[in-house]
Structure 1
């Protein structure tokens, strides 16, 4: 049996209609999978679970119907609930060279020559690309999560390796002539 982990997949918003449908503020890149009919989600901090009976998109928002929310009144009481799911801890996204945030956070950061430089503390999702927030002895550094700067991610070893780029984790004096690196924006949850 594979190891599982708990992830937040959404937050219940306002009711829609009178039959208990609710809007969802998504916290997952896989809504079709996480809100498929029959999926059981747990309300964070309560132990209560909800069973998805159906979902559909309406004007750019996901509407979900849960077995336990029979009408608008029940749906209104659920407003603000954070929903979690149990997922396979080793599963990867379907897209090549992509990772879930939970898989990157905590990885040791190595320099190109193999020296340990810090730890991935957070993944920042920006419109152009994702950025790794790295905790180093010199403070927090932000590194664009693109293959030109982060060429290797080794989940089995628990490491990410950075390219040999001057100033990537340190302040560099402009007079030292740091070379420019072409950083192409990455795909969501992945690298270019």
Structure 2
């Protein structure tokens, strides 16, 4: 099976004396990626763990990892990045959502299906997600909202933008609304 490596969490401080750890979650699907029985790899490639238990405590995920028996062992792992291998073709449960890895590299088209660029990155900003689109004129940022990106075809590898002048093109468009007159 073809897989991709994704960051799912960073180990925080120890929780209690029996080796439990707090995690800073780095995945949108913690109940899927950090549940009992899942194998995780550490940033040290020779180290891996199996999640033995996971529970939420005051908004923080607390886990027990196989081989971490006490507080000292837990504290020694603080700051360790945890990775999971997920199937490359795996899709989010919601058909209206996409993983960054699905979007990056997709062709970007205008409403008339004219290709204008490629998605080079997905930025997760406080207000909304934004697609960074590499065009012939340079990088353009497009808010990833339905009004501006009404169509994403993951199978075809295409993101289609709404017909919004100037969205990825700096050229001024005279739509006839300019009421100034020349004398």
Common topology (TM > 0.5): yes
Unaligned runs of at least 5 residues, structure 1: 179-192
1:94 aligns with 2:89: no
Stretches of structure 2 that go unaligned for 5 or more consecutive residues are: 178-183
For the residues of structure 2 that align with 1:91 and 1:32, how far apart are their CA atoms?
Answer: 16
What is the alpha-carbon distance in structure 2 between the residues aligned to residue 21 and residue 91 of structure 1?
30
Report which stretch shifted further, 165-174 or 52-61: 165-174
Structure 1 residues 177 and 27, CA gap change in structure 2 (3 angstroms):
farther
How far 1:172 moved relative to its partner?
A: 5.2
Q: Which residue does the alignment assign to 2:49?
A: 50
Measure the CA separation in 2 of the matches of 1:98 and 1:45: 31
Instruction: After superposition, give the CA deviation of every residue in 1:108-127 in whole Å (9 maximum; x if it has no partner).
Output: 11122222211111111233
Deviation at 1:175, TM superposition (A): 7.3
Residues 135, 17 of structure 1: alpha-carbon distance in 2 compared, 3 angstrom cutoff? same
Number of residue pairs matched?
Answer: 177
Deviation at 1:75, TM superposition (A): 0.8
Q: Determine the structure 2 residue equivalent to 1:161.
A: 160
In 2, Cα distance between equivalents of 1:38 and 1:84: 14
The one-character-per-residue Cα deviations of 1:9-60 (angstroms, maximum 9, x if unpaired) are: 0111111111111111111111111111111101134231111110111111
Q: Where does residue 139 of structure 1 map in the other structure?
A: 138
CA distance in 2, matches of 1:123, 1:155: 15
Question: Would the alpha carbon gap of residues 16 and 118 (structure 1) be closer, same or farther in structure 2, given more than 3 Å must change?
Answer: same
Q: How far apart are residue 5 of structure 1 and its match?
A: 1.4
Query: Aligned partners of 2:174, 2:14: CA distance in 1, in Å?
Result: 59
Residues 46-104 of structure 1, C-alpha deviation per residue, up to 9 Å, x if partnerless? Answer: 23111111011111111111011111111111111111111122222122311011111
Q: Which residue of structure 2 lines up, in the alignment, with residue 21 of structure 1?
A: 20
Which shifted more, 164-173 or 8-17?
A: 164-173
1:40 and 2:39 are equivalent in the alignment: yes
From the CA coordinates, give the structure whose radius of gyration is larger.
2
| Aligned match of 1:78 | 77
Q: What is the rounded CA distance, in whole Å, between the counterparts of 2:44 and 2:116 in structure 1?
A: 36
Tell me the residue number matched to 2:181.
none
Q: Distance in 1 between matches of 2:137 and 2:129?
A: 22
